[in-house]
């Protein structure tokens, strides 16, 4: 970026708070320059065409072999620097997409608008949306390595995968034989100073109810209930924080209304993404006009109880009620009863902690989405577990909930976990490099999140893998932020690791 470009963008910043270029002043400049460019490119899961063109064009401009495979992954090969040709081939891996989450009062179109950024107390944040540091910082680091003509490294492959956040379909579509690497460095972890050597597997579960609806009884009034202000977060990394789930909260309110006042449900829309803890939910309901005031009084009482329960974890919780026009049709009473019982019975949060690693979640479920479309009601979950049998048991429990509610249930998009290998040669190398560089040993850890290492490792048996990254907090939520100082250490560690890769 030229000085004129910088001055032009700075002037725009004064007119439009969504345009911030302060991150261009941060070190390392090459990485932050690439990250800034990525914030200009909309890239929610499923809309990676523009960012794919960006990185593929960058590789070709540098004169490197660049491949776009059948599913849209980009592979860029950079030759070794002189004297390093005999080193083992390293794959740097990051994903192109980001999670699109925003606050209810933020106007932002993730398919069109750039991400606005700011620096606050040593952290880079976004303006009411997810930042995209997950996995934009990893992408930016890989692009900086490709661009540099001063780093020492052996033969490199950079793999940018698509659609990681919405199903890992890029990693799943990567064919055996495409990569030549012997070591994979996944740049998608979120704690600086931690080397991740294992992760949980995942499975999507969806319950479906069909309905036609019935006419609204005469003499009714209608309200919309909105649950908002929850922190949400990553459905794996933050699932142990005890944060509120908007779908569970809404279900408690609707159950109270149904059991005490016979409310009818016209529509519901809760949660947004399978891998984000639900932050918001809205429901339109109908109740007898003679019971409306009593219902609102009890609703206010319930809202106070729930707010007290979540005061420590979600002090920003808001439960709002507003009158609306009475809809033409509502969901049948029997179906509403079965839906409410199913959502109440569906597991959510931590199911089991690891018996091997203290504090690590082994198995969890995120009750991610509850929505109606006029014809069907769906309840969507993301199951995670590091243990295959535990995943099967959890699926059995959710399947049993669906069966009792007379709903159909489908499990799909399963992906494997990644089993830690304490004898990993690259783990030994990186532990020594980190100790020499920073004067202490890194922490070795497995994570309760889905990493593409498990899928890629299944297609490439014997691939030696480590995942690491800078310190990112609250990914998959508008509170996402990345610590500036940790980005510099992360890049320094990556550069030192590439220089220390052993010979074949």
Domain with 70 in it: what CATH number?
3.40.630.10
* Structural domain contains residue 4: no
pLDDT value, residue 171: 96
pLDDT value, residue 12: 38
**Tens-digit pLDDT profile for residues 281-308:** 999 999 999 999 999 999 999 999 999 9
**322 to each of 260, 284, 292, 295, 325, how far by Cα in Å?**
20, 10, 12, 13, 10
Q: Please say if 164 is a catalytic residue.
A: yes
List, in sequence order, every residue forming a beta bridge with 324; answer none if it has no partner. 222
Low-confidence ranges of the chain (pLDDT < 50): 1-19
Q: Are residues 236 and 304 in the same domain?
A: yes
pLDDT value, residue 436: 97
Catalytic hit among 48, 97, 165, 191: 97
Q: Are residues 410 and 381 in the same domain?
A: yes
Which residue is listed with tokens 């009792």? 404
3-class secondary structure per residue, 346-401: CCCEEEEECCCCCCCEEEEEEEEEEEECCCEEEEEEEEEECCHHHHHHHHHHHHHH
In 3-state terms, the chain is what percent helix, strand and coil (to 5)? 35, 30, 40
pLDDT value, residue 68: 98
Tokens standing for residue 42: 């909309």
Catalytic hit among 48, 134, 157, 164: 164
| Model pTM score | 0.79
Tokens standing for residue 158: 């950079």
Q: Are residues 229 and 353 in the same domain?
A: yes
| 127, 476 Cβ separation under 8 angstroms | no
Q: Are residues 247 and 164 in the same domain?
A: no
Q: Per the structure, how many domains does the chain have?
A: 2
Which residue is listed with tokens 């030994």? 428
Q: Are residues 352 and 472 in the same domain?
A: no
Q: Are residues 213 and 132 in the same domain?
A: no
CA atoms within 13 A on the CB side of 300: 6
pLDDT value, residue 20: 59
Which residue is listed with tokens 């294992």? 198
pLDDT value, residue 358: 83
**Domain ranges, residue 287:** 203-415
């Amino acid at each position: 970026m030229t000085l004129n470009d910088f001055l032009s963008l700075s002037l725009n910043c004064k007119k439009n708070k969504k345009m911030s270029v302060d991150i261009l002043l941060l070190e390392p400049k090459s990485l932050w320059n690439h990250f800034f460019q990525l914030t200009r490119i909309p890239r929610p899961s499923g809309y990676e065409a523009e960012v794919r063109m960006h990185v593929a064009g960058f590789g070709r401009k540098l004169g490197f072999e660049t491949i776009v495979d059948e599913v849209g992954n980009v592979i860029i090969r950079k030759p070794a620097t002189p004297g390093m040709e005999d080193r083992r081939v390293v794959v740097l891996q990051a994903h192109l997409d980001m999670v699109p989450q925003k606050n209810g009062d933020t106007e932002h179109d993730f398919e069109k608008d750039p991400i606005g950024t700011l620096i606050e107390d040593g952290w880079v944040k976004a303006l009411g949306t997810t930042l995209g540091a997950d996995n934009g910082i990893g992408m930016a680091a890989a692009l900086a390595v490709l661009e540099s003509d001063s780093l020492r490294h052996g033969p490199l492959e950079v793999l940018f995968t698509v659609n990681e956040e919405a199903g890992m379909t890029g990693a799943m579509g990567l064919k055996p034989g495409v990569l030549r690497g012997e070591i994979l460095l996944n740049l998608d972890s979120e704690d600086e100073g931690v080397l991740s050597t294992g992760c949980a597997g995942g499975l999507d579960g969806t319950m479906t109810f069909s309905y036609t609806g019935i006419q609204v009884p005469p003499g009714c009034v209608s309200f919309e209930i909105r649950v908002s202000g929850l922190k949400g977060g990553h459905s794996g990394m933050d699932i142990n924080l005890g944060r509120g789930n908007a779908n569970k909260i809404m279900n408690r309110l609707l159950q109270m209304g149904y059991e005490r006042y016979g409310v009818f449900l016209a529509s519901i829309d809760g949660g947004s993404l399978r891998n984000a803890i639900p932050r918001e939910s809205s429901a339109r309901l109908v109740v007898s006009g003679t019971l409306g005031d009593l219902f609102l009084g009890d609703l206010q009482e319930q809202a106070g109880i729930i707010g007290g329960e979540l005061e420590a974890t979600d002090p920003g919780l808001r439960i709002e009620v507003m009158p609306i026009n009475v809809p033409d049709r509502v969901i049948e009473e029997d179906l509403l009863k079965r839906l409410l019982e199913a959502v109440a019975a569906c597991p959510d949060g931590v199911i089991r902690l690891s018996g091997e690693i203290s504090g690590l979640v082994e198995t969890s479920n995120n009750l991610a989405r509850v929505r109606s479309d006029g014809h069907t009601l769906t309840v969507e979950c993301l199951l995670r577990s590091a243990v295959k049998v535990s995943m099967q048991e959890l699926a059995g429990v959710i399947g049993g909930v669906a069966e009792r509610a007379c709903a159909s249930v489908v499990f799909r998009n399963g992906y494997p976990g990644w089993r830690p290998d304490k004898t990993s040669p690259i783990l030994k190398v990186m532990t020594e490099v980190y100790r020499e560089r920073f004067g202490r040993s890194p922490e070795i850890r497995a994570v309760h999140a889905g990493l593409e290492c498990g899928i890629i490792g299944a297609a490439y048996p014997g691939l030696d893998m480590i995942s690491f990254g800078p310190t990112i907090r609250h990914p998959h939520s508008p509170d996402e932020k990345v610590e500036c100082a940790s980005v510099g250490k992360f890049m320094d560690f990556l550069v030192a690791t590439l220089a220390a890769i052993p010979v074949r």
